[in-house]
Chain A
Amino acid sequence: MAKSYDAIIVGGGHNGLVCAAYLAKAGRSVLVLERRHVLGGAAVTEEIYPGFKYSVCSYVVSLLRPEIIRDLQLPRFGLEIIPLKCSFSPLPDGDALCRWDDPELTRREVARFSPRDAERLPEFSKSLLKMSQFVKPLLSLTPPDPCSKNPNDLLELLKVGRRARDLGPEALTRLVKLMTMSSADFLDEWFESDVLKAPMSVSGIIGTFLGVRSPGTAYVMLHHYMGEIDGAFRSWGFARGGTGQISNAIADSARHFGAEIRLEAPVSEVKVHRGKSTGVVLEGGEEIDAKVVISALDPHRTFFKLVGPQHLDPDFTAKMKRYRMRGSSGKVNLALDGVPEFVSRPGVGPHLEGDIAIAPSVNYLERAYDEAKYGNFSSKPYMNIVIPSLVDPSVAPPGKHVMSIFVQYAPYHLKEGASAWPEKREAFGNAVIDTLAEYVPKIRDQILHQQVLSPWDIEQEMGLTEGNIFHGELGLEQLFFLRPVPDWAKYRTPIRNFWMCASGTHPGGGIMGAPGANAAGELLKTGAI
């Protein structure tokens, strides 16, 4: 008889692996099944071009919970994170703004554009820090159900309420504004300089199909602001060896605790018998049984591909269909012959050791969104660029570099339909390089290889529905006890013994690991295995 497991995790993305590691650490027998030949899902490093290691999709890390790093002993298994030095925003007129890790340097830079903003910046940081302090404990909490009369839910809600009260009226007002305003409007309340506001506002739109002037984006800005490294808020970093190294470290930790991981083992369906899951069937026909099956795929793929509506209540299916997964971004990865030279700040320097934002003005960003609204990719997109090889030489041959370009907007649903992406891919790549060439005129001569990923490609390759990087947008209407859908925000599903553990559950996307850890915690608490 084939071996049976306590838990099978479908999908070897970082959350699936975190969940596996916690369950294995608690002594449960765990099997992770990954469709691809590499682990990591969207947190993956691949040597697409010899000698150059691309962080193919996800490229920076900040939200990975430090307690997960400690609990799973990830540094011992090769996890090392290098913080970004700065945020560099070159401008079309040849000037540039750089926000540094050194507050005094940043003050002087910002003061060139607005002395008022320069003084305001520390106050703003303090205010957002306070918000982050409020939100942060919610990250590792299983969302309480506000409609429930269960004493545990009520107690948790009370705790959240108390924390909100403790913020005081001023901060609470600000929090409500943050929850409802657009990032551009929210920043307008603080700052006057467009040059400063534009790159700050973009963190409100990443991974959503919204513009910087769309209501609700201010909260997403906070979600990104919350990133922490070393207990310090708002530090982003590179994983040494690329983001895939994070997944590999988690996988090695999981194996160390006894989990089994199988690659190239695509699951075709979850076996459901009388409303209860009993195991999985692989594409080759192999059946494996387990007490619980946990999906680390996005909610749409989970319920419409793994399970199928025939096993679900139509009401639930309807809600799940409405869960928004609109992909809005693409990715271009470049292998470069040398360090790219920016007109606004020529030469190699520390300004290139952080992220580089092509976000010269709020209007520029809104125009980029305008095109996307009507089914086109932005001809002048917002781009977030990093060159990790400058601080982590292990990802490129000596003297050569990798450049990762996150591009927004690239709507999954083109006006010609998503299936038009293979024909549009080249034009999309050209738009990105053309835009970049305005700031780095010689970039074309330095490109040794380029990889262009549209949201359609991300869906095909990584299995993210519509190429949405967060397994569903981080809008307020689908966060906390509403993620992915109301009544099912506690990692459980309407099918007994079938669970969810990835970014489509609370607290959402980014290389955070919290959904995986929370799901494992909840599963162990129930005594299901």
Chain B
Amino acid sequence: MPEPTPFHPRTSALCRSLFWKEWAGYHAVRSFDTVIDPEYFAFRHAAGLIDVSPLFKYDVSGKDAADFLSYVMVRDIRKLQVGRVAYSCWCDDDGKAIDDGTITRLGDDLYRVTSAEPSFRWFDQQAEGFDVVISDRSRDIAALSLQGPRSREILKGAVGSGVEGLRFFRVMEGKIGKTPVHITRTGYTGDLGYEIWVEPKGALAVWDAIMEAGKIHGIRAAGLDAMDITRIEAGFILLGVDYKSSPHCDIEEQKSSAYEIGLGRLVNLDRPSFIGQRALREEKERGSEWAMVGLDISWEELEALYDAYGLPPHLPAQAWRENIPLYKEGRQIGRATSGTWSPTLKQNLALATVEAEFGALGTHLEIEVTVEWERRVVPATVVQTPFFNPQRKRS
């Protein structure tokens, strides 16, 4: 039985649809309305406010904190300055990905790590020999994500000074009303946006203040279904959907390396030892087996296929996350792991894992489609991600 988050009194009052799901042990709203468009478009045109408290949060402190994090992460965290945020993934000894998340440097020797699944045991196990303290703050910190082109104006109204100068992937301390908060310029929508971190006792006051400040800017409470569309448009992978955490895999074949989940750009190989370094270095030299790619599924062909059945094209109203076979000349060469119709781009998009040789941009593949219980295929092309990358994200 999931439990309520600190924002539950507010989200449950607004959730007229009663569409909920379980997220990391908490009740989370899938969509407040039966139709998710307004929540999606709030993210893209005004601002959406979503409760992301179920994220796991760990504080890493002590004089070796930077060395320790650089040891567990594929990325060299020693370069991260105070007040900045970095995105990274962490791997097992074989270079297989465990999880991905953000690392925020809150002070000289204080970092906060977020993750999608529990990682305390893994971090703690690696900490031997480092002068660090790792504490699980997941229940002590509630979190809201405020995303969309108006989010800056709204936060300026709620927080006052300082927000305007907060640049992409930076953190600041502030107060909303009397409640102290941390604000990071981060998010999972690929848009201009912020995440607000607050102790549970101040959670409702923060929610109310942001909603109040947002009223004149078209703010809207948004749920996970709307965010799922935006995160695919932004090309963000999701643990448990687009890849599986290596400790949870039943067989070796289910595991993916940092390179194979498309995060090779984060891997700093040439530095002192870190977990997975040897395997990742070998993989870099040898070449990866799999590639994570973005796919543009031909809408014209899909329309023609449906038309041959006398049907209008049909798409699910929200993002999907079933594994769907991909083919090249009749041979299965991978799978799409999640996808969505992009209301902004007017494209039918998917994230996929394919045999590395088919990962080059512009490669033509075929994806399975079921129409009237018959399995057919339509063309799909490997394209660049992020699919959608507005300037305002970094502005």
A315 in the interface (beta carbon within 8 A) = no
Pick the interface stretch among A23-31, A65-73, A376-384.
A65-73
A353 in the interface (beta carbon within 8 A) = yes
Residues of B within 8 A of A353 (CB): 38
Given known contacts A70-B299, A75-B388, A102 and B216 CB-to-CB distance under 8 angstroms: no
Whether A350 and B38, one on each chain, are in contact in the complex, defined by CB atoms closer than 8 angstroms, is yes
Whether B46 and A393, one on each chain, are in contact in the complex, defined by CB atoms closer than 8 angstroms, is yes
Whole-angstrom distance between the alpha carbons of A166 and B310 in the complex? 9
Q: Mark B23-46, 1 if CB is under 8 A from A, else 0.
A: 000000000011101100100111
Whether B38 and A85, one on each chain, are in contact in the complex, defined by CB atoms closer than 8 angstroms, is yes
Whether B33 and A82, one on each chain, are in contact in the complex, defined by CB atoms closer than 8 angstroms, is no
Whole-angstrom distance between the alpha carbons of A70 and B297 in the complex? 12
Docked complex: B37-64 residues within 8 A CB-CB of A: 37-38, 41, 44-46
Residues of A within 8 A of B300 (CB): 67
Q: What is the size, in residues, of chain B's interface with A at 8 Å between Cβ atoms? A: 31
Pick the interface stretch among B1-9, B96-104, B274-282, B342-350.
B342-350
B153 in the interface (beta carbon within 8 A) = yes
A390 in the interface (beta carbon within 8 A) = yes
Given known contacts A230-B341, A230-B343, A80 and B44 CB-to-CB distance under 8 angstroms: yes
A129 in the interface (beta carbon within 8 A) = yes
Whole-angstrom distance between the alpha carbons of A15 and B344 in the complex? 21
Q: What is the size, in residues, of chain A's interface with B at 8 Å between Cβ atoms? A: 32
A423 in the interface (beta carbon within 8 A) = no
Residues of A within 8 A of B341 (CB): 230-231
Whether B299 and A231, one on each chain, are in contact in the complex, defined by CB atoms closer than 8 angstroms, is yes
Whether A394 and B41, one on each chain, are in contact in the complex, defined by CB atoms closer than 8 angstroms, is no
Whole-angstrom distance between the alpha carbons of A482 and B299 in the complex? 31
Given known contacts A75-B344, A398-B217, A391 and B388 CB-to-CB distance under 8 angstroms: no
Residues of B within 8 A of A69 (CB): 345-346
Whole-angstrom distance between the alpha carbons of A394 and B216 in the complex? 11
Within the complex, the shortest CB–CB distance from A105 to chain B, in Å, comes to: 8
A392 in the interface (beta carbon within 8 A) = yes
Given known contacts A75-B346, A230-B343, A391 and B46 CB-to-CB distance under 8 angstroms: yes
Whole-angstrom distance between the alpha carbons of A353 and B39 in the complex? 13
B150 in the interface (beta carbon within 8 A) = yes
Q: Mark A244-282, 1 if CB is under 8 A from B, else 0.
A: 000000000000000000000000000000000000000
For B45, B149, B299, B347, the residue with the greatest tally of chain A CB atoms inside 10 Å of its CB is B45
Within the complex, the shortest CB–CB distance from A235 to chain B, in Å, comes to: 9
Whether A70 and B46, one on each chain, are in contact in the complex, defined by CB atoms closer than 8 angstroms, is no
A101 in the interface (beta carbon within 8 A) = yes
A240 in the interface (beta carbon within 8 A) = yes
Q: Mark A390-409, 1 if CB is under 8 A from B, else 0.
A: 11111000110000000000
Residue of A nearest to B42 (CB): A391
Whole-angstrom distance between the alpha carbons of A394 and B152 in the complex? 13
B315 in the interface (beta carbon within 8 A) = yes
Whether B312 and A233, one on each chain, are in contact in the complex, defined by CB atoms closer than 8 angstroms, is yes
Whether B218 and A390, one on each chain, are in contact in the complex, defined by CB atoms closer than 8 angstroms, is yes
By secondary structure, the A interface counts as mixed
Given known contacts A133-B312, A231-B299, A350-B38, A393 and B150 CB-to-CB distance under 8 angstroms: yes
A170 in the interface (beta carbon within 8 A) = no
Residues of A within 8 A of B345 (CB): 69-70, 75
Whole-angstrom distance between the alpha carbons of A350 and B35 in the complex? 12
Residue of A nearest to B387 (CB): A75
Residue of A nearest to B41 (CB): A82
For A75, A240, A391, the residue with the greatest tally of chain B CB atoms inside 10 Å of its CB is A75
Residues of B within 8 A of A399 (CB): 215-216
Within the complex, the shortest CB–CB distance from B335 to chain A, in Å, comes to: 24
A83 in the interface (beta carbon within 8 A) = yes
Docked complex: B345-364 residues within 8 A CB-CB of A: 345-347
Whether B312 and A102, one on each chain, are in contact in the complex, defined by CB atoms closer than 8 angstroms, is no
Within the complex, the shortest CB–CB distance from B392 to chain A, in Å, comes to: 10
Residue of A nearest to B304 (CB): A137
For B33, B215, B315, B346, the residue with the greatest tally of chain A CB atoms inside 10 Å of its CB is B346
Residues of B within 8 A of A102 (CB): 33-35
Within the complex, the shortest CB–CB distance from A391 to chain B, in Å, comes to: 6
Within the complex, the shortest CB–CB distance from A149 to chain B, in Å, comes to: 29
A229 in the interface (beta carbon within 8 A) = yes
Whether B37 and A83, one on each chain, are in contact in the complex, defined by CB atoms closer than 8 angstroms, is yes
Residues of B within 8 A of A70 (CB): 299, 345-347
Whether A240 and B45, one on each chain, are in contact in the complex, defined by CB atoms closer than 8 angstroms, is yes
Whether A101 and B46, one on each chain, are in contact in the complex, defined by CB atoms closer than 8 angstroms, is no
Docked complex: A449-475 residues within 8 A CB-CB of B: none
B287 in the interface (beta carbon within 8 A) = no
Within the complex, the shortest CB–CB distance from A430 to chain B, in Å, comes to: 30
Among A66, A100, A350, A391, the residue within 8 A (CB) of B41 is A391
Q: Mark A85-106, 1 if CB is under 8 A from B, else 0.
A: 1000000000000001110110
Whole-angstrom distance between the alpha carbons of A394 and B341 in the complex? 25
Within the complex, the shortest CB–CB distance from B66 to chain A, in Å, comes to: 39
Residue of B nearest to A398 (CB): B216
Whole-angstrom distance between the alpha carbons of A124 and B345 in the complex? 30
In the assembled complex, 25 residue pairs joining A and B whose CB atoms fall closer than 8 Å, in A order, are A67-B299, A70-B346, A75-B344, A75-B388, A82-B44, A83-B343, A85-B37, A101-B35, A104-B34, A105-B34, A133-B307, A166-B310, A230-B341, A231-B313, A231-B315, A240-B44, A391-B38, A391-B41, A391-B218, A392-B45, A392-B218, A393-B216, A393-B218, A394-B149, A398-B216
The 7 tightest CB contacts between A and B, nearest first, are A399-B216, A398-B216, A66-B346, A69-B346, A393-B218, A101-B35, A82-B41
A interface list, Cβ under 8 A from B: 66-67, 69-70, 75, 80-83, 85, 100-102, 104-105, 129, 133, 166, 229-231, 233, 240, 350, 353, 390-394, 398-399
